[in-house]
Structure 1
């Protein structure tokens, strides 16, 4: 299994740790020298801000999307990221998303039936531009993706504590 690990090796605190500071466009677009992972969940028949939560984590910061658009399989997610407080990022110091090799072999962007019957879905995007829409329901999600789904679900829960 490939492990995409974002560990903070030092206690570097950004000097601009405002609660919602804008991110430069090159980081928004994921320049070639910037490693990141974008992840989140979405629910179609839902009310409130928590229905669509998309985050971006880099080696030294955590960002939240302010658009809250419903993801689709036609294009990568059109996000507008704002940096979150450093305290939220610090909750993720030991974040390890284990991306199974089999996911990289998938020929489809949509895996399962994300948000069918209002079951919810997961959005996952890597800094190389690859992205997937995954079913939130364990019934329709291939078993090899169950641990990744749980990692993403728990990470979002931890951010929102």
Structure 2
């Protein structure tokens, strides 16, 4: 009986540990090949669309797009930027290391009401080899609240991610 109890406990610990490891592997392997990348940025919407900078993490490097073309054609946005120093990449790694595995299971979609009440959005685009590009538009309230501007709750994993990465935007020097 003790052996059976020990085996059940051991299997439970292994399954919990493997889930955490899978989450980490998703984040680490997300940008493993030359075709994999994570694009992200804060975009002011409302009356005047303004994307000061959109970032891209690819192959352990951070790039910045300051062209402001995002607002002209959001649906067909193509990143075009320049490489930033490694010190800035070190700051931005949190976008990958804390990237919620649950979000990778979501198809491209909008969370909340980006642009409502002249607010903005957190824009994320993910390309992982063998999969289609996924794009998420998230109400910028995710940086400070568990609910969007019309008081609808964000998924818990998304609210946590938004609060984790909120300050990094102002720390990166482009």
TM-score by length of 2: 0.61
Q: Which has the higher helix share?
A: 2
Gaps of 5+ in 1: 7-29
Encode CA deviations 1:62-97: one digit per residue, 9 max, x unaligned: 10012222287634x322111112332233456513
Gaps of 5+ in 2: 1-19, 149-153
Q: How does 1:46-125 map to 2 (within 5 A)?
A: 51-68=51-68, 69-70=70-71, 74-75=75-76, 77-92=77-92, 96-101=97-102, 103-107=103-107, 109-125=109-125
Give the match for residue 26 of structure 1. Answer: none
Which one has the largest radius of gyration?
A: 2
Aligned partners of 2:109 and 2:135 also within 8 Å:
yes
1:154 aligns with 2:167: yes
Aligned partners of 2:91 and 2:168 also within 8 Å:
no
Query: Distance in 2 between the 1:152 and 1:42 partners?
Result: 15
Higher RCO (CA-CA < 8 Å; seq separation 6+):
1
Deviates further, 148-157 or 113-122: 148-157
Residues 151 and 70 (structure 1), Cα distance of their counterparts in 2 relative to 1, 3 Å cut = farther
Give the match for residue 33 of structure 1. Answer: 34
Query: Distance in 2 between the 1:115 and 1:81 partners?
Result: 25
Other structure's SS at 1:70 match = helix
Q: Which has the higher strand share?
A: 1
Aligned partners of 1:62 and 1:89 also within 8 Å:
yes
The alignment covers a number of residue pairs equal to 134
Residues 149 and 46 (structure 1), Cα distance of their counterparts in 2 relative to 1, 3 Å cut = farther
Aligned partners of 2:64 and 2:83 also within 8 Å:
yes
